[in-house]
Amino acid sequence: GENVEQHPSTLSVQEGDSAVIKCTYSDSASNYFPWYKQELGKRPQLIIDIRSNVGEKKDQRIAVTLNKTAKHFSLHITETQPEDSAVYFCAAIGNSGYSTLTFGKGTMLLVSP
């Protein structure tokens, strides 16, 4: 089945800096890649997603890039703010049928004021 690797496991930045989280996937047939933000004690929230027919997508301070050849995709957060502090999960659609998501292990992002 699908395997998603996520790096780094923790990331500490100063407020205003940029943060980049990278994921790789194993199934070349995967075609949907969402990113979720999970604050402590809260549910995962979809923040951005990308499909395999585009290479980049932006939404204000957040962007996601996809390299299908290399089978990796990345989350970019610019001008980080303390409220960006959370655990971020990447995911990819697996090949077991339906829309089964396989998640990376997560990245804890800490933004210091």
Nearest to 11 by CA among 77, 67, 102, 63: 77
Q: Is 53 in the site for another protein (CB under 8 A)?
A: no
Report, in Å, the least distance between residue 21 CB and another protein. 13
Report, in Å, the least distance between residue 91 CB and another protein. 8
Q: Is cis: bond before 82, omega within 30 of 0?
A: no
Q: Is 40 in the site for another protein (CB under 8 A)?
A: no
Question: Of these, 20, 49, 72, 110, which contacts another protein (CB under 8 A)?
Answer: 49
Question: Of these, 20, 63, 101, 110, which contacts another protein (CB under 8 A)?
Answer: 101
Q: Is 113 in the site for another protein (CB under 8 A)?
A: no
Considering only residues 63-82, where is the footprint of another protein by CB under 8 A? Answer: none
**From the CB of residue 65, how many other CB atoms can be counted at a distance below 10 Å?**
17
Question: Of these, 53, 60, 97, 113, which contacts another protein (CB under 8 A)?
Answer: 97
Composition of the chain by helix, strand, coil, percent to 5: 5, 55, 40
Nearest to 109 by CA among 26, 29, 7, 23: 7
Let me know: does 106 contact 91? Beta carbons within 8 Å: no
Q: List interacting residues with another protein (CB under 8 A).
A: 1, 32, 34, 36, 42-46, 49, 89, 93, 96-106
